[in-house]
Structure 1
Amino acid sequence: MLEQQKKDSFAVHGAASIKIKDIISKIVADEANALLNLELNMPDEAVLFVEKIINTRGKVIFSGIGKSGLVAQKIAATFSSLGIPSIFVHACDALHGDLGMMQQQDLFVGISKSASGEELECVYSVLNNRASDSVLICCSSGQLCSLARLVIRLPLQKEACLLNLAPTSSSTLMQVFGDALAVAVSSIKNFNKADFAKNHPAGALGRRLTLTVQHFMHGGLLSPTISLETKFSEILYTISSKKLGVAVVVDGSNKLLGLITDGDLRRACDKFGPSVFDKKAADVMTLNPKTIDFAKLAFNALEMMDKFNITSLIVTEHDNIVVGVIHVHDLIKAGIKA
């Protein structure tokens, strides 16, 4: 009896699980279709909007209420990260003093699904009295359409919400549209990786785009440099004590001559046998080893090591002068990833 109840319970939960998955899949499909419809019916005003942003001498100010306000916050953050000076101002806060941060040269962008709302209506009225430029992103016609200087109505057919009430497809449309605008403007302005790094100096992304080989290299007394005449036993000691798995062979001016790795030592032992201890660096080194300039990005060093399946690179400056060694473990430890 108890066993049968368990089976019946599993059957019910299994059926419910399948139904839930179907519902989720349908919502995702509905929102994907809403985006496809936007792609196929992109408003012509989008081009005018991009031109306004490019020609704006001040910052772009995004604003909204409720879910639209949250979308506006995200779009403002995306714009800023891509080098377009932008901020978010809540419409209610704007009416209680924050209008003071809006200057004549700024571009105001309101976001409202229904193109209505007393707070934004008041903000647009104040901006019109100031002769300030403004844009409205919406999904339907409303009172705000008559107040904004440029209106962009996105082609919303219905919400993904089963009740067709909660902002789902509409918020997705506005979010994706905002992202597309930001990328388009940054592309036109030739915003590149170096510019991106200036706005993201912290975290793994910042380290990847800003830190150079010089930051991680083992230089000076920590550099495992030896001469052509260094004996085999001293080579062993250098590789072991410096803990980088290599010894770099240089001349009197620290110019690169060759490299000796753990593998080179093993091959030398196989080749020369016991007499290997009579050999010098010139007898066992590898010529033309891989190098990298000290000013290159650490990320480039990791890419190079990954490409050639090696764990370290010799760091050089002009005329192939050795200044240190960079090891893959130091990069991975710092969060630099290929």
Structure 2
Amino acid sequence: MNAQLKSLLNMPLKAEHQQVIDSANRVFAIEARAISALADRVDVHFVRATELMRTCKGRVVVTGMGKSGHIANKIAATLASTGTPSFFVHPAEASHGDLGMITDQDVVLALSNSGETDELLMIVPVIKRKKIPLIAMSGKPNSTLARLSDVHLDVSVAEEACPLNLAPTASTTAALVMGDALAIALLEARGFTEEDFALSHPAGSLGRKLLMRISDLMHTGDQVPRVSESANLSEALVEMTRKGLGMTAVVDADQRLLGVFTDGDLRRMLDDAEIDLRATAVIEVMTRRPKSISADRLAVEAAKLMEDHAIHALLVVAEDGRLVGALNIHDLLRARVV
């Protein structure tokens, strides 16, 4: 941290600084009132809008110009990630060919605070001629866009947070929140689940937890530590060291799991001076009926099993009890499941 920045962070508050804080709090209060006012407008029009979007056989096409366009883009992204197929179309580009992206199976959600945005009004006649349902979200219920729409959602605000009452601030917040309300109402109406969300977000932490399976992580083939039931402790230790998973499975001639011997078992045995590593059979000191899991289970289930039983590794078995894989806590950590 440079000296100038450190000085700024440590400076005492002065009168002009309090003005900055007051300005921020004034914005919060104005925008909070704008959001609160929306509750009285969630009525039959809102219900009709959600039904048009829910029963749409195509996609919800969201459009808007300027700051409304930025909000429209975000609403489209939220809809798409919560179970309602959606995308954003720029209204200026729409009139130069992108209207071809909109089909008669779609629904259009158009945002304009004034309801008089030229670029939007230019494409509305085409939307109406193609009999595509039009939902308008504007701050003026008597605007041209509102009158031409099939459903109008009123997102008007008493004032902008801008002291000049010019820059879109409270109005864009109100539109964004109304869009979120539509998306969540649709999510709940569709019965959208965490698993559905994960399918749209496979790279996120929730996606990893809900989609990744044991088979995606487990060690297989020669990577799986295993010894036969006739092996002695010395052979088991060599196998554990070679495979590096902190354990080895003990299997019969058909590769069915009989037990497990872990580094924890080894530490406990070292207190017994009578143990002869070459003379003692691993089957005598292994843990019988060890915790195991099937390859088709979710990785997060393996993490829960390890946590519940205070263990750091699991063996993976098939339905007939054959050993098919192994994984430990480090595999789950690397995959960011835990």
Q: TM-score, normalising length from structure 2?
A: 0.88
Q: Is the 8 A contact 1:111 1:136 kept in 2?
A: yes
Q: Which has more helix, going by share of residues? A: 1
* Alpha-carbon distance, 1:237 to partner: 1.1
Q: Please give the alpha-carbon distance, in whole angstroms, between the structure 1 residues aligned to 2:41 and 2:110.
A: 21
**Pairs within 5 Å for 1:136-285:** 136-141=136-141, 142-154=143-155, 156-202=157-203, 204-270=205-271, 272-277=272-277, 278-285=279-286
Gaps of 5+ in 2: 1-6
Q: Determine if contact 2:250/2:261 at 8 Å carries over to the other structure.
A: yes
Match of 1:96 in 2: 96
| Map of 1:3 onto structure 2 | none
Q: Is the 8 Å Cα contact of residues 83 and 196 (structure 1) preserved in structure 2?
A: yes
Describe the superposition over 1:243-276 as per-residue Cα deviations: whole angstroms up to 9, x where unpaired.
Answer: 0011112222222222222111111222x32424
Separation in 1 of the partners of 2:75 and 2:41? 21
Q: Which amino acid aligns with 2:66?
A: G
Q: 1:31 to 1:311 in 2, by over 3 A?
A: farther
Deviation at 1:34, TM superposition (A): 2.8
Q: Secondary structure at the match of 2:61?
A: strand
> Does the Cα contact within 8 Å between 1:246 and 1:259 map onto a contact in 2?
yes
Residue in 2 that maps onto 1:117? 117
* Cα distance in structure 1, aligned partners of 2:32 and 2:282: 64
Q: 1:18 to 1:250 in 2, by over 3 A?
A: farther
| Aligned-pair CA distance for 1:17 | 3.8
Q: What is the total number of aligned residue pairs between the two structures?
A: 328
Q: Offset of 1:10 from its aligned partner?
A: 4.6
For residues 22 and 245 of structure 1, the distance between their equivalents in structure 2, rounded to whole angstroms, comes to 59
How much has 1:283 moved relative to structure 2?
2.5
Aligned pair in 2 of structure 1 residues 58, 22: CA closer, same or farther (>3 Å)?
same
Quote the residue 1:324 is aligned against. Answer: 325
Change over 3 Å in CA distance of 1:97–1:326 after alignment to 2: same
Does the residue aligned with 2:287 lie in a helix, a strand or coil?
coil
> Alpha carbon RMSD of aligned pairs, Å?
2.4
1:197 offset after TM fit, Å?
A: 3.6
CA displacement 1:92-121 (0-9 Å, x = unmatched): 111111112221121111011122211111
Structure-2 change in CA distance of 1:66 and 1:225 (3 Å): same
Instruction: Answer whether contact 2:208 2:337 (CA < 8 A) is retained.
Output: no
Whether 2:23 is the aligned partner of 1:23: answer yes
Deviation at 1:221, TM superposition (A): 0.9
- Residues in 2 aligned to 1:99 and 1:18: alpha-carbon distance in whole angstroms: 50
C-alpha distance in 2, partners of 1:36/1:337?
A: 39
Distance of 1:288 and 1:223 partners within structure 2: 18
1:304 shift after superposition = 3.2
Shift of 1:40: 5.1
Q: 1:294 is matched with which residue?
A: 295
Deviation at 1:36, TM superposition (A): 3.1
Residues 54 and 203 of structure 1: is their aligned pair in 2 closer, same or farther, counting only changes over 3 Å? closer
The alpha-carbon deviation at position 150 of structure 1 amounts to 0.8
Say which SS state the counterpart of residue 159 (structure 2) adopts: coil
Taking the aligned partners of 2:30 and 2:291, their CA distance within structure 1 comes to 53
User: 1:61 — aligned with what?
Assistant: 61
Question: CA, structure 1 residues 10+150, in 2 after alignment: closer, same or farther (shift >3 Å)?
Answer: closer
* Structure 1 unpaired stretches of 5+: 1-5
Check whether the contact 1:43–1:153 (CA below 8 A) recurs between aligned residues. no
Tell me which amino acid in the other structure corresponds to 2:130: R
**Corresponding position: 1:87 with 2:87:** yes
- How far did 1:71 drift? 0.7
Amino acid across the alignment from 2:178: F
CA distance in 2, matches of 1:240, 1:95: 68
**SS where residue 158 of structure 1 aligns?**
coil
SS, match of residue 63 in structure 1: strand
- Secondary structure of the 1:173 match is helix
Amino acid at match of 1:27: V
How far is 1:242 from its partner?
Answer: 0.6
The whole-number CA distance in structure 1 between the counterparts of 2:157 and 2:310 is 51
Question: Using the alignment, how far apart are the partners of 2:33 and 2:290 within structure 1?
Answer: 54
Note if 1:313 corresponds to 2:314.
Answer: yes
Corresponding residue of 1:107: 107
Deviation at 1:152, TM superposition (A): 0.8
